Structure 1
Amino acid sequence: MDKTWHGAIMPPADPPGLAGWLRAIMRAIPLIILVFGGLLVLLLMRLFERPLCGMRRPVTPYITQVVCRTAFVILGMRYSSDGQPLSGAGAVVANHASWLDIFALNARKRIYFVSKSEVADWPGIGWLARATGTVFIQRDRSALRHQITVFRQRLAAGHRLLFFPEGTSTDGLQVLGFKPALFAAFFDPALRDSLQMQAVSVVYRAPSGADPRFYGWWGDMAFGPHLMTTLAAKRQGGVHVTYHAPVQVADFADRKTLAKALEDQVRVGLAQHRAT
């Protein structure tokens, strides 16, 4: 079972005030229209895409990508990236700091998230996750065989699968140890010899004068207040995404060495970008 990281408690945010509420409303309205309007267009496209292409999604991931990139424009957050995203089928791993990671990781490259099965039943978020092709898994050994089968099917369809090996979110200032168990499926003989994996570092810059953990969402922090604080901010910061060089799973002896190598890449990327 995943353990939630609590870390240091974030100081309570100051009440937004009238100006903050107005900023939140001015950002929330177009953001809601963007997300759910994009969802409607995506679902309409899937009516034609599904019977014609089956599991392959040649069109709808571009809708998700446009929505996520535009979301940062509405929020007023800077978005930047470097490195070359993985091409073709494969798996991607990243550090996890915020609900904003979904937008940051979808903004440049078409990916499919791997998430715990409980997320499918979350109101709102679960609907969006299912519509955008999220892979839902049960993280226990009894489900490993089924998990491998699902991964094989999705990778055969050319999908790039992304998961968070820390198993929890943090304040965005650190990288927790990657859980080797989450890499077990990729060492199946049907996947190991041909599979590439890529590490990605997601680095948030807080607004000027704000707590460096401003965009972090962890522990028992409620989604609603965190969303409100983000929407109401007078000044916004930014997010930078670094794509590291892909590695071949077959080049590693076991899941522990693979997990550690990818963790090190993510950790170095976070430290380097925070130092600039």
Structure 2
Amino acid sequence: MKISIKEISKLRTITGIGIMDCKKALIQSNGNIDKAILFLRKKGEKIAINRSSSKMKDGALIASVNFNYSCGTIIGISCETDFLSKNSKFLNFLSILSKQSLLFSNKIDFLSSSYDEYGNIQEMIVNYMGVVGEKLELKIFEKIVSPFVINYTHNTNKIATLVGFSKKVNTLIAKDIAMHITAMDPIAIYKKDIPTSLINEEIEIIENQVQKENKSDFVKKNIIQGKIQKFILENTLLNQKFIKENKITVQEYLNKYDKNLKINLFKRISF
């Protein structure tokens, strides 16, 4: 099968793997990017797990919460250039929309809502397109509701996080958790929340790697179980080592503050 330079370049950008290895992986997978990534991971290449389908080429994200910390939103506007995505006026425009978004439960209602002299938010975005000279689109609208919600937007505006807690929390404690999620990108809060398909895929990858080793079946089985356990611990929020104090887990950090405090849910969106 003939693989184009464009396809190879795309896979190389995603994985950081060499050109020839990317070409071979694409040939083996008949040009399917996802299958090529799986092929490379089975070979033992270290590639980040794709946790989110909410990705855009260029643009910016922002997370906001309402005045009493009972709900929060993440909105993301796509644009044509990275230059515009970093522009202070564009980010200010995004901030205005973000605050307004807190009043609505979904993207459709938000875009059709009226705002100042504009017919609605969608028309406001279209009008701003004429100002910046680029196509803009509201790509992301995520909202969470919980007894206490905290927000965190990375200073690049390329990652935004919301965390919902079971009750009111000291904002500094809550912000620490949001920053941790932003940095460490957990798949889920608990093991039971990790998709079975993802666990099975990881088992397949590990089995493929271990079978190449010259060890007994008993030893191989123990290695596989150990690696899966490590995968789960490293990718579940409460079991991760806390980024600010890596001798304890996130759960242990929360316990120091309040043993009855729970994390109900989180959203982390990135470009």
TM-score (norm 1): 0.24
TM-score (norm 2): 0.25
Q: Report 1 or 2 for greater relative contact order, CA contacts < 8 Å, sequence distance ≥ 6.
A: 1
